[in-house]
Amino acid sequence: MAFFAKLKDKLKGVREKWSGGISKLFSAKNFDSDFWDSLEAQLIAGDTGLDFTEEIIDFLKAEAKSKNIKTPGELKNIFVEKITGELNSVPGMGKSFELKKTPLILLMIGVNGSGKTTSAGKLATLYKNQNKKVIMAAADTFRAAAVEQLKIWGERSGVRVIAQGQGSDPAAVAFDAWKAAESSKADVLIVDTAGRLHDKHNLMEELKKIHRVLSREAGADRIETVLVLDAVLGQNSVVQAETFNNIIPVSSIILTKYDNTAKGGVVLSIAKKLKVPVRYIGLGEGADDLNNFDPAEFAAALLELETEK
């Protein structure tokens, strides 16, 4: 199913709870203070962020004045173009990871329950379906269930999983996995790490150690630090991202559970505040429900517009 068609189906809840209200505002007959106040309230309620909300409102007011636009409906496409432009201004937004230097290392990080291990498995499946050689590392050694979950994904997709016993050094697992990926000439190494609260110093130090070991052995230029965020958390996801980014520079984001959120503006807030690309968006539990994030089709699907594709 095309990304736009899948979005239209999966984002019904988001439209009804958030963007549907925005879309209705643009059907108003004329501009008045209520229109602008309501649009501002809807954007803020959807976790677009205060600063970016004010920027959008000021931009639309200026466009309406300079182009002598008389009705809100005439601004709808301009609003979508503004959103799309902001997202596309972030290098790498919606793009697949480039395999310039293989094995590429995808270091998966995030808090408990964000969907990190599942995203690792989905990425492995995606690359395997592209006939790429993939190895996964079970560097979440705190939870036996996490190792088993990753092994299940490995069995499903035919991907080798490097693991050690529960309680072993996660950095050692990552080291062994890198050596296996290097010697077998793998295209991609996906390292699944333990979910950790972003305010726990000792766990963050452990994450830094994993990154340090991989950087030393493989070179930092082949590592993509992939932060997996739960879209349902809204602005809390942005706070998490800022905190993780202060520990290890985050280079990419996967936004999961987007089909379950009522606050669709979080992706805009991430783009505006962090300037980190959202490469994939999760729209369900299936192996094929991890999709490249397409800014234009995303904005159109939210407001139920048609695209040129």
* Tens of pLDDT, residues 50-61: 888 999 999 999
Q: What pLDDT is recorded for position 294?
A: 86
Confidence class of residue 196 from pLDDT cuts 50, 70 and 90?
A: confident
Give domain status of residue 309, yes or no: no
HSE toward the beta carbon, residue 228, CA cutoff 13 A: 29
Q: Please give the tally of structural domains in the chain.
A: 1
Q: Which residues is 189 bridged to in the sheet?
A: 105, 135
Give domain status of residue 308, yes or no: no
pLDDT digits (tens, 9 = 90+) for 82-103: 999 999 999 999 999 999 899 9
Round to whole Å and give the CA distance between 309 and 233.
31
> 184 or 269, which is more confident?
184
- Both tokens of residue 20? 């549907």
Whether 122 has a pLDDT exceeding 90, the answer reads: yes
Round to whole Å and give the CA distance between 151 and 249.
28
CATH number for the domain harbouring residue 102? 3.40.50.300
Q: Which helix (H) or strand (E) holds 136?
A: strand 134-139
Q: What pLDDT is recorded for position 309?
A: 45
Give domain status of residue 7, yes or no: yes
Give domain status of residue 123, yes or no: yes
Confidence class of residue 264 from pLDDT cuts 50, 70 and 90?
A: low
Q: What pLDDT is recorded for position 12?
A: 58
Round to whole Å and give the CA distance between 262 and 12.
10
Of all residues in the chain, the percent with pLDDT exceeding 90 is: 48
Give domain status of residue 14, yes or no: yes
HSE toward the beta carbon, residue 277, CA cutoff 13 A: 20
Whether 211 has a pLDDT exceeding 60, the answer reads: yes
Secondary structure E strands in 188-299: 188-193, 223-230, 252-256, 278-282, 290-292
Q: What pLDDT is recorded for position 97?
A: 93
Determine which of 203-207, 222-226, 254-258, 300-304 has the lowest per-residue pLDDT on average: 300-304
> 221 or 300, which is more confident?
221
The average pLDDT across 65-77 equals 90
> 306 or 51, which is more confident?
51
Give domain status of residue 192, yes or no: yes
The average pLDDT across 139-164 equals 91
Q: Which helix (H) or strand (E) holds 90?
A: none
* Domain of residue 281, residue span: 1-303
Tokens 């958390």 sit at which residue? 233
pTM listed for this prediction = 0.88
Whether 19 has a pLDDT exceeding 60, the answer reads: no
Give domain status of residue 139, yes or no: yes
Give domain status of residue 287, yes or no: yes
Closest CA to 235 of 19, 67, 52, 59: 52
Confidence class of residue 13 from pLDDT cuts 50, 70 and 90?
A: low
Whether 308 has a pLDDT exceeding 50, the answer reads: no
On average, the pLDDT of the chain sits at 86
